Chains A and B, each alone.
Chain A
Amino acid sequence: MISIKLLLEKPWIWSFVAAAIVWFVTIMFTGGASAYGLSQAALTFAAFSIIVGIGQMFVITLGPGNIDLSVPATMTLSGTIALKLMGGADSMVVPGLLVAVAIGVAVGVGNYGLIKLLRIPPIIATLSMSFIVQSTAIWANRGLRIKPPAILADFTTSMTLGVPNVAWIALGLSIVAYWLLQKLIYGRWVSAIGQNILAARMTGIPVDGVRIVTYVLCAVLASVCGFLLANFSGGAALNMGSEYLLMSIAVVVIGGTAVAGGNSNVPGIWGASLFMFLVVSMLNTYGFDAGIRLIMTGIIIIGVIVLAGGHNSEQR
């Protein structure tokens, strides 16, 4: 009994409850036939949201006003450049990944550079950055569609122990993120800055250092996600990141991370990412048209935030 009570006090539980309900309702409709396929698809597509969501979560934890809107552009640029560099050759996989990471580092440094040097709010700094990055991607792409190396295309679309490989990667990154937040000084610092940036500065926390690392971390996760997504979908497309702008923010908020900063939540991102994918497939299964689908998605997201928000006040 006590363990159930403890579980109900966790803010992330609600996103899992919501995901489970939606999963069940969808399965009901198809009479149980699609249970396995739906779960596989949910884990695969949720994995991409989880990877960008973790990065966005770190940034949002930095406190009010901190957000990275350059996530979609970074994904597109890293996917495009990495695929171009690899040129479909299996031997180029490692350089391709390194280039993707390097793009992430550059975008992250650029983002914080704009915020710090020009003293503009993160929302505007990262949005302007995203125009630069997106334009670079357009210029680099020029309508070419390069196939990913076979080894990577295989890896991203196949499974290990019945679980999609991309989900394993997301799990690994989530564990690292959880460690960073719970066990390392860095996590304490991020949380401290998000709660009270003045107090953080006056307790000797290197505020600028922590913030730039966080923006770089977010951009690197976005570019790694872009790299994986481009390989998964058989090539980079200029609009491949677009849906991940809303997604990366929504999964953080639904997952129970405090929008006001200072409090982050890794498990919640899993529940929320699964939920976001399952809602869309549920509405698809029930055969609603696109307009209704979007409205319903919005209403459901608001509902979950209201539900989860009520249980967030007693957080420490």
Chain B
Amino acid sequence: MTNIRPQDAVIEVRDARVSFGAVKALDGVTLAIQPGECVGLVGHNGAGKSTIVNVINGGLTPHEGRVALGGKLIEKYNVKVARDHGVRCVFQELSLCPNLTVTENTRIMHRSLAGWGWRKKASAVVRAKLDEIFPGHRIPVGALVGDLTIAERQMVEIATAFSEVIQKVRLIILDEPTSSLDAGLAAQLLAFVRAFVKTGGSVIFISHILGEILSTCDRIVVMKDGKVVAARPSEGCTEHSLVESMGSVVKGPSARSIREINTGEPVLSAARHAGKGLPLKAHRGEIIGLAGLGGHGQTETLIDIYLKESGNWVRERAPKVAFIAGDRRLNGVFPLWSIIKNMSIGHLSDLSTKGFIRRQDEAKLVENWKSKIEIRTKDVENGILSLSGGNQQKVLFARALATRADAVLMDDPTRGVDIGTKQEVYSILRSEADKGRTFIWYSTEMDEICLCDRVYVFNSGVIVAELTGDQVTEKNILAASFRSAAA
């Protein structure tokens, strides 16, 4: 394999850059996939794995950089070019149509299965591939996809991607394919991947289960903050060394001061999820971090706590909890309103007399917070949507911090907020916590989690670990993220 020249790569992405607003999703990534190799792609959430996958499968055109196929630069690279070249992708979110049968879904993926008797041909193709990858699978190809279990759907999706009708399959991207398969099926898939690679095919394999990556891949690429931070043969790598390179290389001094562990009555608590894992408790003046891979139940936990602690029928003079949204559009911003109304809405009971809003006090509050966290606008009467995303987020911060709530729940609130403001926010949080406020903070940024007094690590909706004081390190958190819950 070593004697193959780089221009023979199945696909090569050179210096790709993609940014979404202020966020650099890809910051100069170069990646070449040789024929007959399996490349493992690892990295924390938001490291840019999905973005590079989208660039490779043609779904996303990089703002800068080139894509070359078989050594030839392609000017207009897109999904069709990718498919014609034999690049296929198995998506993390299943992409089959649930109202169609397995056979019909195969037809959608392979347009060349046309004409009289396509049903027969498609059935044969997909059945053969399923038998080959997952011997003894027992999936009827005439069944509606919606009636299959999630594991069976994943199997069908994998089989249709590997099926060859006219064009040869050169590169398959497997984006967390084993997350819904049990150990036996996963082993079958990994064995098939090895066999496929031996015959000259290429695979990009993304998984959070590092053991799989190490046993299956020839080469491992580690991404962090939109960059490739390590690319080396898998021999010589260990889980430990991978976890280490996924973390930040240089770390500033920790702003966290070790605080005595509070054992009193918790301000907030959440029971164990479905009887598994650990319960959540938050004491007065604590900053609690919720860590783990994204989408593993952190946001849901915050929302559950909020709904439990706040009333839905009558007005509360002093709310117990406040919430800062991360998904602004979904549960944060009131799009028709001005900045001033968006900021004061959580605090109105303190800005009113007998239900009448005191406009001067409202304006005073908003001006105060505007200068405190530097919301960049000429006039707070402007619409909230006139602000950039980061500045909208600042308004949501102010909305929650201005209330008298004892506890503030934060759902990854610093997305798109610039570094300066982040530092400002961190110091506000710390001083508020010292005054006795409690924060529960879900963040996808490791640096932020490391600012917390205590951290709960989530996996599949369950708290799998609790880290306190000195245990709160990047390494421990990453290691715990892959642990499964004790019943």
A binding-site residues for B, Cβ under 8 Å: 183-186, 188, 191-192, 195-196, 198-209, 212, 258, 262-263, 315-316
- Contacts A184-B355, A204-B322 hold; do A198 and B341 have CB atoms under 8 A apart? no
- Cβ-neighbour of A204 out of B319, B337, B352 (below 8 A): B319
**Contact of B312 with A195 in the complex, beta carbons under 8 Å:** no
Residues of A within 8 A of B336 (CB): 191, 195, 258, 262-263, 315-316
- Given known contacts A204-B322, A208-B312, what 18 new A-B pairs fall within 8 Å (CB)? A184-B352, A185-B355, A188-B348, A195-B334, A195-B336, A199-B331, A199-B333, A202-B332, A203-B345, A203-B399, A204-B319, A204-B403, A206-B316, A207-B312, A262-B334, A263-B336, A316-B337, A316-B338
**Contact of A209 with B331 in the complex, beta carbons under 8 Å:** no
- Contacts A185-B349, A316-B336, A316-B337 hold; do A198 and B330 have CB atoms under 8 A apart? yes
Residues of A within 8 A of B337 (CB): 191-192, 195, 316
B116 at interface (Cβ–Cβ under 8 A)?
Answer: no
B335 at interface (Cβ–Cβ under 8 A)?
Answer: yes
A79-B334 Cα distance, complex, nearest whole Å: 40
Interface 9-mer from B142-150, B153-161, B216-224, B303-311: B303-311
The 3 closest A-B pairs by CB, nearest first: A198-B331, A209-B313, A195-B334
- Cβ-neighbour of B357 out of A184, A192, A204 (below 8 A): A184
CB proximity of A189 to chain B, nearest CB, Å: 8
B323 at interface (Cβ–Cβ under 8 A)?
Answer: yes
**Contact of A183 with B356 in the complex, beta carbons under 8 Å:** yes
CB proximity of B309 to chain A, nearest CB, Å: 10
Residues of B within 8 A of A191 (CB): 334, 336-337
Residues of B within 8 A of A192 (CB): 334, 337, 345
B 342-378 to A, binary, CB cutoff 8 A, 1 in contact else 0: 0001101100100111000000000000000000000
Residues of B within 8 A of A315 (CB): 336
CB proximity of B410 to chain A, nearest CB, Å: 12
Question: Which residue on A lies nearest to B306, using beta carbons?
Answer: A202
- Residue tally, chain B, CB below 8 Å to A: 35
Residues of A within 8 A of B69 (CB): none
Residues of B within 8 A of A186 (CB): 355
CB proximity of B319 to chain A, nearest CB, Å: 5
Question: Which residue on B lies nearest to A195, using beta carbons?
Answer: B334
Question: Which residue on B lies nearest to A186, using beta carbons?
Answer: B355
A68-B269 Cα distance, complex, nearest whole Å: 40
A207-B330 Cα distance, complex, nearest whole Å: 16
B 280-322 to A, binary, CB cutoff 8 A, 1 in contact else 0: 0000000000000000000000010011001111111001001
- Contacts A195-B336, A263-B336, A316-B383 hold; do A188 and B341 have CB atoms under 8 A apart? yes
- Contacts A262-B336, A263-B336 hold; do A183 and B383 have CB atoms under 8 A apart? no
A258-B322 Cα distance, complex, nearest whole Å: 29
- Contacts A203-B345, A209-B314 hold; do A183 and B334 have CB atoms under 8 A apart? no
- Contacts A196-B335, A198-B331, A316-B337 hold; do A206 and B312 have CB atoms under 8 A apart? yes
B binding-site residues for A, Cβ under 8 Å: 303, 306-307, 310-316, 319, 322-323, 325, 330-338, 341, 345-346, 348-349, 352, 355-357, 383, 399, 403
Residues of B within 8 A of A201 (CB): 307, 312, 331
Interface centre among A183, A200, A202, A315 (most CB of B within 10 A): A202
Question: Which residue on B lies nearest to A183, using beta carbons?
Answer: B356
CB proximity of B248 to chain A, nearest CB, Å: 31
- Contacts A184-B355, A209-B315 hold; do A204 and B334 have CB atoms under 8 A apart? no
Residues of A within 8 A of B316 (CB): 204, 206
Residues of A within 8 A of B307 (CB): 201
**Contact of A199 with B357 in the complex, beta carbons under 8 Å:** no
**Contact of A184 with B356 in the complex, beta carbons under 8 Å:** yes
CB proximity of A186 to chain B, nearest CB, Å: 7
CB proximity of B306 to chain A, nearest CB, Å: 6
Question: Which residue on A lies nearest to B312, using beta carbons?
Answer: A208
CB proximity of A180 to chain B, nearest CB, Å: 9
- Cβ-neighbour of A185 out of B312, B314, B348 (below 8 A): B348
**Contact of B346 with A203 in the complex, beta carbons under 8 Å:** yes
Residues of A within 8 A of B357 (CB): 183-185, 188
A214-B322 Cα distance, complex, nearest whole Å: 25
Residues of B within 8 A of A183 (CB): 356-357
Residues of A within 8 A of B315 (CB): 185, 206, 209
- Contacts A185-B348, A196-B334 hold; do A206 and B313 have CB atoms under 8 A apart? yes
Residues of B within 8 A of A185 (CB): 315, 348-349, 352, 355, 357
**Contact of A188 with B312 in the complex, beta carbons under 8 Å:** no
**Contact of A202 with B325 in the complex, beta carbons under 8 Å:** yes
Residues of B within 8 A of A205 (CB): 345
CB proximity of B20 to chain A, nearest CB, Å: 22
A208-B314 Cα distance, complex, nearest whole Å: 8
**Contact of A202 with B331 in the complex, beta carbons under 8 Å:** yes
- Cβ-neighbour of B323 out of A188, A203, A208 (below 8 A): A203
30 A-B Cβ contacts within 8 A?
Answer: A183-B356, A184-B352, A185-B348, A185-B355, A185-B357, A186-B355, A188-B345, A191-B336, A195-B334, A196-B333, A198-B330, A199-B325, A199-B330, A199-B334, A201-B312, A203-B323, A203-B346, A204-B322, A204-B403, A205-B345, A206-B311, A206-B315, A206-B316, A208-B312, A209-B314, A209-B315, A258-B336, A262-B334, A262-B336, A316-B337
CB proximity of A122 to chain B, nearest CB, Å: 17
Question: Which residue on B lies nearest to A198, using beta carbons?
Answer: B331
CB proximity of A193 to chain B, nearest CB, Å: 10
Question: Which residue on B lies nearest to A261, using beta carbons?
Answer: B336
A204-B319 Cα distance, complex, nearest whole Å: 7
Residues of A within 8 A of B333 (CB): 196, 199
A209-B316 Cα distance, complex, nearest whole Å: 11
